């Protein structure tokens, strides 16, 4: 279970620096009733993503699991490897297109003023179908063979990690008070220009960690030097 928590938390944290959620939250943080608006937006985004994760986990996920009632370690390790490779591919694409994406983000218009809840629901609904890191985490969770309650706990952990930057914005508003606006405006300007590079680095770190979990699991039973190295690496990264 600890391995799975580390897996979903690392993917969630890497995916958390998402301009589609962080940028609107930063704009809301400079508007009226900023803390309330950011918290409402955060709850709406997390609610949509959690609901989507629940549907995928207990619906198609359980149907697929029924085909393999007792998934062995190999299935779990393959799922972890797939999740990690997905993150690495995403990191490579972000890094390759970092200049174009950064320039596009800098020219984007601020979101229109509307209900923070409606804005969160809208953005969450648009982002969910293309949330490939989230899908990779769900695949790994379903393939782990844990019961439904633990699956939902893992999905909740992912979503908590995913909205941590939004909660951090709300915390800054609470602690810094009137000074928060200047701080968040500078953060917004920096993230708009550099988010592809930052997200690529986070995705790379998470992808390497998750891929290492899967690959070392697949090769730890091999005899010889490869198996020995895999077992040592796995003990380090999974404890």
pLDDT for 43 = 93
pLDDT for 229 = 66
- For the chain, where are the alpha helices, taking DSSP H only? 2-16, 19-28, 34-56, 62-67, 73-96, 98-107, 116-127, 132-143, 148-162, 164-176, 180-219, 225-237
Helix count and strand count (H, E) for the chain: 12, 0
Rounded CA separation 219/195 (Å): 35
pLDDT tens-digit series, residues 139-184: 778 777 778 888 889 999 999 999 998 998 888 888 876 677 777 7
pLDDT for 108 = 54
pLDDT for 64 = 56
Q: List the one residue out of 210, 24, 20, 214 whose CA is nearest residue 130.
A: 20
Q: List the one residue out of 170, 137, 109 whose CA is nearest residue 50.
A: 137
pLDDT for 25 = 84
Q: Which residues of the chain have pLDDT under 50?
A: 113
pLDDT for 50 = 92
pLDDT for 236 = 61
Going 83 to 88 to 91 to 92, the CA torsion angle's sign is negative
pLDDT for 227 = 67
pLDDT for 218 = 72
The neighbour count for residue 207, using CB atoms within 10 Å, is: 25
CA distances from 30 to 179, 198, 209, 220 (A): 11, 23, 36, 52
pLDDT for 15 = 80
């Amino acid at each position: 279970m600890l391995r799975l928590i580390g897996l979903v938390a690392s993917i969630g944290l890497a995916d958390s620096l998402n301009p589609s959620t962080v940028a609107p939250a930063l704009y809301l943080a400079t508007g009226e009733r900023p803390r309330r608006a950011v918290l409402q937006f955060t709850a709406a985004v997390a609610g949509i993503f959690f609901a989507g994760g629940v549907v995928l986990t207990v619906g198609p996920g359980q149907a697929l699991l029924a085909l393999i009632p007792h998934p062995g370690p190999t299935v779990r390790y393959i799922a972890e490897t797939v999740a990690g490779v997905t993150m690495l591919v995403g990191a490579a694409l972000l890094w390759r297109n970092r200049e174009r994406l950064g320039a596009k983000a800098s020219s984007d218009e601020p979101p229109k003023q509307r209900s923070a809840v409606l804005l969160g629901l809208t953005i969450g609904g648009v982002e969910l179908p293309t949330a490939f890191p989230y899908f990779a985490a769900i695949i790994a969770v379903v393939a782990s063979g844990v019961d439904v309650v633990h699956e939902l706990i893992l999905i909740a952990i992912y979503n908590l990690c995913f909205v941590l930057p939004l909660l951090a914005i709300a915390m800054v508003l609470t602690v810094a008070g009137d000074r928060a606006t200047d701080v968040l405006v500078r953060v917004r300007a920096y993230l708009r220009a550099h988010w592809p590079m930052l997200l690529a680095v986070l995705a790379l770190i998470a992808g390497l960690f998750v891929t290492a979990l899967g690959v070392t699991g697949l090769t730890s039973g091999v005899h010889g030097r490869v198996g020995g190295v895999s077992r040592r690496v796995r003990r380090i990264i999974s404890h």
